[in-house]
Amino acid sequence: MAISIYIDADACPVKAEIYRVAERYGLKVYVVSNAYINVPRDPRIERVVVSDGFDAADDWIAERAGPGDIVITADIPLADRSLKKGAAAIGSTGVAFTPSSIGMAMANRELMSNLRAMGEITGGPKPMNPRDRSRFLSTLDETIQKIRRARP
């Protein structure tokens, strides 16, 4: 069974990097978003535009991703759902979510949400830097190799 990559694409800053890696390995990529996004003309890259309903892209990915697949997302609840389905999950800065780390990530997300609600924290995530992109590429490559080694 082939490895598929599912991108939670609305705010993903590493789509171009994913396309290059997928081309090198010949992997299928699903670019899932709530709005039209340009994707390369490649039969292995499929654009999926879902409704603009809350979590529609996350739900589409979570229903389809499974063992041997990779989900690229900054959304911690989607990463958690993906891991529970047996897929690998990687954040756009190259941090791999694991069954042992996702609980802490979920708790940290809740804490930050509460601090934002109280006005203690404003602003969003830091911008991507070259080190983040490099770490992402390395983590994606390592994840693909690990999945390939685990297959019979």
pTM of the model: 0.86
H or E stretch covering 11: none
Angstrom distance (rounded) from CA 125 to CA 94: 14
Q: What's the pLDDT tens digit per position in 18-46?
A: 999 999 999 999 999 999 999 999 999 99
Q: Which domain holds residue 49?
A: 4-150
Work out the number of other CB atoms within 10 angstroms of the CB of residue 149. 7
Q: What values do phi and psi take at 150, rounded to 5? A: -75, -15
Predicted confidence (pLDDT) per residue in 125-136, tens digit:
678 889 999 999
Task: Say how many domains are in the chain.
Answer: 1
Torsion of CA 39, 40, 42, 47, to 10 degrees: 0
The CATH code of the domain that includes 91 is 3.40.50
Distances (CA, A) of 120 to 106, 114, 137: 19, 9, 33
Strand order in the sheet with 88-90: 45-49, 28-33, 4-8, 70-72, 88-90, 96-97
Q: What angle do CA 134, 81, 53 make, to 5 degrees?
A: 95
Q: What is the mean pLDDT of residues 82-91?
A: 95
